Structures are given as structure tokens and as C-alpha cells.
Amino acid sequence: MTAPAGPSALESAVEPAVRRPAGFLRSALTVALKDLRAELRTKDALNASLAFSVVILLLFSFAFDPSVEETRALAGGLLWLVFAFAGALVWNRSFARELPNDCLEGLLAAPISGAALYAGKAAANWLLLMAVELAGLAVFGVFYNTAWTSRFWPLLGVLALGTWAMTVVGTLFSALTVNLRLRELMLPLLVYPMLIPALLAAIQLTGPLALGQPAPAEVLVWLRLLGAFDIIFTALSLALVEAVLVG
């Protein structure tokens, strides 16, 4: 008696057996890669955010003269204002890109959870926004003549945490407002007030780092706040997104 062979060529030409649906991480990864590929091909949101960031930094340098010592203290606030505005352009696209051709229905009908769909989009948004922010940071360094590169790694850490906070809330509200009229108004009206604690923490942490100075001692409090915000809102969003997407 020979041992049973593996699936023959004939069998694999016949219909495949019932599959188990893909797991959370794989589904989220598929969605994230899809969003990134689509965005990198069209570069709609990317170009808009980048251009917007640079122009705002330019405008800020007229409003807040970089050569004056006092305004350098505003560095953290300026940067995060720029990031928050640029971010809106990214989140806006996030679920809006699923509207043409009813693509959102195609995704919702697929065997992936709403949470996986959301997580994938949030991850893609995070990456895109981080790229825009790093570019913005470079421009800021030039305009304001700061030595932020000496604090690169802590700065990157703060950027990562702060951007995650913005992305988590922004992407959820993008899903929430996807087929509402006045979508462009809803997003900033709802998202920014909710983000105030996270932005506050990020600004306090970024301020000295962006100027090339070490972070002050009370930094731990803000770091904990930012971390707690990230964890709480990620958990809440993952739990609530299904209710948002399916009526």
C-alpha cells in the first residue's frame, strides 16, 4: 500500500476546498499594502500634504520670525500644527478612496473583520503621515536653523507616538464620515478637539528636541500621557469600528 500522494495536478485544477478566512494581521496587511500601492501610484494625498506642510511652514516663518529667539520656543507647537493640518488631508482620503465603484462594499463583503480593515488603513495612513512629517521636519530644520538631527531618535519616537494618536482617531472618523455630506468639515471639527491631549503631549515633548536640546525632566509625564492615549483610543477604535462600518 502506497501512502496517499499529495493533491494531484488534476485536484488542484478542481475547485479548492473551503478555506478558513485569513487572520487579522494578514487581512490588515493586505489592506495596508493596497492603500499604500494606490497612494504611491497616484500620490494625491501625499503631494497635497507635502505641499501644504511646506507652505504652512513658510507662512509660519513670516508670522513667527525664525531669527527671533522667542519664536524658537514655539517650535514644538508649530511643527504639530503643521502635522495636524497635513494629516487631515491624509485621513480624508483614507476611506474616501473606497467610494468610487462602491469599493467599500467589496471590502466589507470580504471575509475580513471591520477591525482588520480599519487597522490596515490606519497603518498605511501612519506610514504616509510619518513620511510627510519627516520631510516637514527637514524643511523646518532649514528654515529655523535647528540642530534636530542631534536628537533624531528620541524625536522619531515622539513623532511615531504622536502620529499614531492622530492616525487612530483620524482614520476612525474617516470611516465615520465617509458618506456624509460636509465630510471635509466634519473631520476637523470632530478630530482636532479629541486630539488635544495627545497634541499637547507631543508638543511638550517635541519642543526642546526639535531645537536640538535634551528633553526636560518632566518629560515622563507627557510620554505616559501620549502612550496611554494611544493605547486607549486604539482599543476603543478597534472595538467600535464595526458598528461604524456596518449598519
Partner 1 sequence: MRGKTLIVLCGLAAALLARNLYVMLLELPDEAAQGPIFRIIFFHVPAAWTAFLAFLGAAGASLLYLLRKDLRYDAFAVALTEVGLAFAAANLATGMIWGRIIWGIWWTWDPRLTSMLVCWVLYAGYLTLRHAVEEPGQRARVAAVVSILACVDVPIVFFSIRWWRTQHPQPVVWGGGSMDPAYWNMLFLNWIPLLLLGAVLTALRMRQESWQREIEGLRRRAHAL
Partner 2 sequence: MSALELEEVWKFYGDFPALRGITMRFDPGACLALLGRNGAGKSTLLRILAGLSRAGRGQVRVLGADPRERQARARIGVLGHGLSLYEELSALENLTLFGKLYNLAEPGRQARRWLERIGLESAGDALVREFSRGMRQRLAIARAFLHEPELLLLDEPFTALDDRAVAVLQELLGEARRKGRTVVLSTHQLREALEPASHVALLVRGRLAYAGERRREMLEDAGWLYRTYGEGT
Q: Judged by CB under 8 A, which of 9, 196, 217, 220 binds partner 1?
A: 196
Q: Cell 513623532, residue? A: 159
Q: Which residue has the cell 501644504?
A: 52
The nearest distance, CB 34 to partner 2, in angstroms, is 5
Contacting partner 2 within 12-31 (CB under 8 A):
15-16, 18-22, 26-27, 30-31
Taking the CB of residue 6, how many other CB atoms lie within 10 A of it? Answer: 7
Burial pattern 148-177, b for ≥16 Cβ within 10 A else e, equals beebeebbeebbebbbbbbbbbbbbbbbbb
Query: What letter would DSSP give residue 3?
Result: P
* Residue (126 or 222) nearer to partner 1, CB: 222
> How is residue 27 written as a grid cell?
487581512
- Pairwise CA distance, residues 6 & 4, whole Å: 7
Who's near 85: CB < 8 A, 6+ residues apart? 52, 53, 56
* Nearest-approach distance from CB 138 to partner 1, in angstroms: 28
Q: Is 240 in the site for partner 1 (CB under 8 A)?
A: yes
Residue in 137, 117, 136 with CA at minimum distance from that of residue 125: 117
Residue closer to partner 1 (CB basis): 140 or 222: 222
Residues 24-83 that bind partner 2 (CB under 8 A): 26-27, 30-31, 34, 37-38, 41-42
CA distance 245 to 237: 12
Q: Which stretch binds partner 2 (CB under 8 A): 73-81, 97-105, 142-150, 177-185?
A: 97-105
Q: Is 213 helix (H, G, I), strand (E, B) or coil?
A: coil
For cell 483620524, name the residue. Answer: 170
Kindly tell me which residue out of 47, 55, 58, 106 binds partner 2, with binding defined by CB under 8 A: 106
Residues 134 to 153: which contact partner 1 by CB under 8 A? none
* Among partner 1, partner 2, none, partner that 225 touches (CB below 5 to 8 angstroms by kind): partner 1
Contact residues for partner 2, defined by CB under 8 A: 15-16, 18-22, 26-27, 30-31, 34, 37-38, 41-42, 100-103, 105-113, 246-247
Contact residues for partner 1, defined by CB under 8 A: 169, 172, 176-177, 180-182, 186, 189-190, 193-194, 196-197, 200-201, 204, 221-222, 225, 228-229, 232-233, 236, 240, 243-244, 247
